[in-house]
Structure 1
Amino acid sequence: MSARRHPLLKSISTTPDGPQAAAQPVDGPAVGEPKGVAEGVPIAGLPDPSKDDGRRPVAWLHITAPASWSVTPSARSWCTCGYERHAIGRAAALQLVAAHDEHRTACPLLNPVSEGRTAA
């Protein structure tokens, strides 16, 4: 019986003699307007998201009111001026919401007093 010869499954490539330069891309002429997201879509002039407009959150009101009537709701109101209140229960949470609204009208950070008003 004659032995079968299998072809080699892996070919051995030759190594180059020295370093070779990579193929360089061909620069085309810069013609036309810059492309948007897709062909035919103009580039939108969106505002710079890193630009600061000076607004900052000052007063917060957080209310936890579960859907189940068997769970007691709670509320928390706080401000960067130091005002901080916490309430547990429906009636107390409603009173805290009203107190939070009153604080927003009286807070020195939200309603700065002008110099003419302090002098009087």
Structure 2
Amino acid sequence: MSPHPHPPLKSVPVPVPGKPQGATQPVDAMSVGEPKGVAEGVPTACLPGPRRNDGRFPIAWLHIVAPRGAVPTATSKCACGRDRSAVGQARVLALIDDHTAHRDLCPLRNPQEGRAAA
């Protein structure tokens, strides 16, 4: 038998005076503050603040889909009720020009006054 018998593995060791002891373990307690989304030191995305309402809003949309090797398509929509679409390169290019020209003619973008409004 050895002069220093080993304690059973599941028992708590008895502190011996003069020998260094292990660090005290933290108590499981609720942390105070906001919960963290990621680990410390990991950068998070900064989202812009709420936008100010400057009176601007979209009126017309031009949606073009031109996958490589496929037939392009486009859709032109406006809040005034205009809704057009095109399939094929030549027709899509014509719709882009038509959409651009509609900017100057749209009654929502250019309110007419006087007799022209009637």
TM (norm. structure 2) is 0.56
Is 1:8 the equivalent of 2:5? no
Identity of aligned residues (%): 43
* Counterpart Cα distance in 1 of 2:12 and 2:117: 97
Structure 1's consecutive aligned runs of 4 or more residues displaced over 3 angstroms after TM superposition are 115-119
SS at match of 1:102: helix
Partner of 2:32: none
C-alpha distance 109-5 of structure 1, shift in aligned 2 (>3 A): same
1 CA distance for matches of 2:14 and 2:50? 56
Matched, 1:57 2:58: yes
**Structure 1 Cα separation of the partners of residues 14 and 80 of structure 2:** 76
Gap runs ≥5 in structure 2:
16-48
Matched to 1:87, the amino acid is: A
Q: 1:117 to 1:86 in 2, by over 3 A?
A: closer
* 1:66 corresponds to 2:70: no
Q: Residue 78 of structure 2 corresponds to which residue in structure 1?
A: 79
Distance 1:10 1:115, change over 3 A: farther
Provide the rounded CA distance (Å) in 2 between the counterparts of 1:102 and 1:59.
12
Amino acid at match of 2:109: L
TM-score by length of 1: 0.55
SS in 1 for 2:54: coil
